[in-house]
Chains A and B, each alone.
Chain A
Amino acid sequence: MKNNVTDIRKDFPILSTQVNGKPLIYFDNGASAQKPQAVIDSITKYYSSMHANIHRGVHTLSQQATQAYEDAREAVKKYINAEHSEEIIITRGTTESINLVAHSFVKKGDEVIISGMEHHSNIVPWQLAEVNLKVVKVKDNGELDMEDFKSKLSKNTKLVAITHVSNTLGTINPVAEIIALAHALGVKVLLDGAQAVPHMKVDVQKLDCDFYAFSAHKMYGPTGIGILYGKKDLLNAMPPYQGGGDMIKHVTFEKTTYNDLPHKFEAGTPAISEGIALGAAVEYLNKIDWDWAAKHEEELLAYATEEIKKIEGVKVIGEAKHKAGVLSFVVEGAHHYDIGTLLDQMGIAIRTGHHCTEPLMHRFDISGTARASFAFYNTKEEVKIFIDALKRSLKMLR
């Protein structure tokens, strides 16, 4: 099991590069995580020795590629502990996964509950579907207002779609409680797991969620690919999302019959190399000691939070009791854009802006935040350099 940060860092080649002449400190993991060598190698290997289209060829390469791609699905299935592999729909990412559910599971006028801390990708698809949106309030400390949730949830609710971990606040939402409350009324639950999977091992059966959406690139895998987990009976009852090759059984001009799960939802030639590389990412994550990783990240976050609060005029946005990997802050007299620009000069990558959560920014009456987000490969030394660099930036700006 991997539980030593010095060794783990060696697995990620980009971590030993320089940016603007300084050793890179990568604290923008919330936007996208870096890739271990195993993931990079799997893409090279695929294109060097196995590439062919999948699910359609009788020739050897096509069969090998199909096998590797389906092995990746199987790896994801095991990793999140889904009951069946056909419950693993391979999509372009969290965004497409949510759009799929918004297209095929709800219809115009249905009642859908989201929260005030959702990423735009868990807001706009519901608006496009013209559902009746109810938005659960966020408390001042960045926690979900569960009383408000309970008051909005009813038998008339078709779906609760809520983020597992907030990308802006770091809040880990009480998803077990949300699911229990919803299921007690026969209401289905979708979790946006984009920010959860990089920080913890998720067990969809234990959670008992109905849908779980996430992106490979945030969990140390390639871009352009992600997963929609859905319970089999629900997915079976849903109409296809896109039409094309692979998703059909037979096509005639009079009547077309659709393929079985999961292919029904996977129209067209997929991102094959990325799929296989996602399998490699999962294989890598299987070697991570997640108890160690959780403790390590918690220490980083606690240390960073403690140190940043000592700086005059800094306000941390999101101080929920349970948080994962995210430190969002605003500084009196310094714009987040300026902070991000100066830190970048010192080799430190953070994210600034509204983080695709504009309604949440309005909620806190701010135009944006600076956000440092951590991964298990980050170190306390990096946090220390970041804090010093932040102080230096603020001295220049204020």
Chain B
Amino acid sequence: MTTINENEKEIIEDFALFSDWEDKYEYIISLGKELPLISDQYKNEDHLVRGCQSRVWLHAEKKGENIVFTADSDAIITKGLIALLVKVFSDQPAKEVAKTDLAFIDTIGLREHLSPNRSNGLVSMIQKMKNYAVAFSAK
């Protein structure tokens, strides 16, 4: 079982291989295409993280001490970024998820996707992942 930090490191190493934006985005897009879809029953209003342009659906489940996320988006790049977040946070101890600040997005040069103006729901999604984690670790 790898830790959140190890997961982040792995992604940073993967991205270090890309020399231009095109390779980077092609990789993100391919991640988006691979992301295991959220089961249809959760793709509803209750699980919707509202962004003004692309929409994100997020579901969290408890697995022992761990928290498991599944997610989807109608935009493929957003979906690829979600795949990264899921990779880092999913199946990790809820209390770790709750207290970890993600650094990798900045490091791999995707910070613009988290700027308040991106309206892709990612910022709210991270917040929501943490909210779930806080709730789960409190139980």
Contact = CB atoms under 8 A, between A and B. Distances in A.
Contact of B21 (A20, A335, A354, A368): A20
Contact of B76 (A20, A338, A352, A368): A338
Interface string B50-82: 001111000000000000000000111110000
B120 A337 contact: yes
B22 interface: yes
Contacts of A342: 25, 77
Contacts of B78: 335, 337-338
Contact of B53 (A20, A334, A345, A352): A352
B52 A338 contact: no
A336 B53 CA distance: 8
Contacts of A8: none
B75 A338 contact: yes
Interface size class of A (residues with CB under 8 A): 10 to 19
A396 B26 contact: yes
Interface string A375-398: 000000000000000000000110
Contacts of A270: none
A359 interface: no
Contact of B29 (A20, A353, A368, A397): A397
A334 B113 CA distance: 18
Contacts of A345: 21-22, 25
Contacts of B120: 337
Given A342-B25, A396-B25, A396-B29, A335 B54 contact: yes
B52 A335 contact: no
Given A352-B53, A368-B53, A335 B29 contact: no
Given A342-B25, A396-B25, A396-B26, A353 B52 contact: yes
Interface in B18-63: 21-22, 25-26, 29, 52-55
Given A338-B77, A338-B78, A368-B53, 5 more contacts: A334-B76, A335-B54, A337-B75, A338-B29, A345-B21
23 contacts: A334-B76, A335-B75, A335-B76, A335-B78, A336-B53, A337-B53, A337-B54, A338-B29, A338-B75, A338-B76, A338-B77, A338-B78, A341-B77, A341-B113, A342-B77, A345-B22, A345-B25, A352-B53, A353-B119, A354-B52, A354-B53, A367-B74, A397-B29
Interface of A: 20, 334-338, 341-342, 345, 352-354, 367-368, 396-397
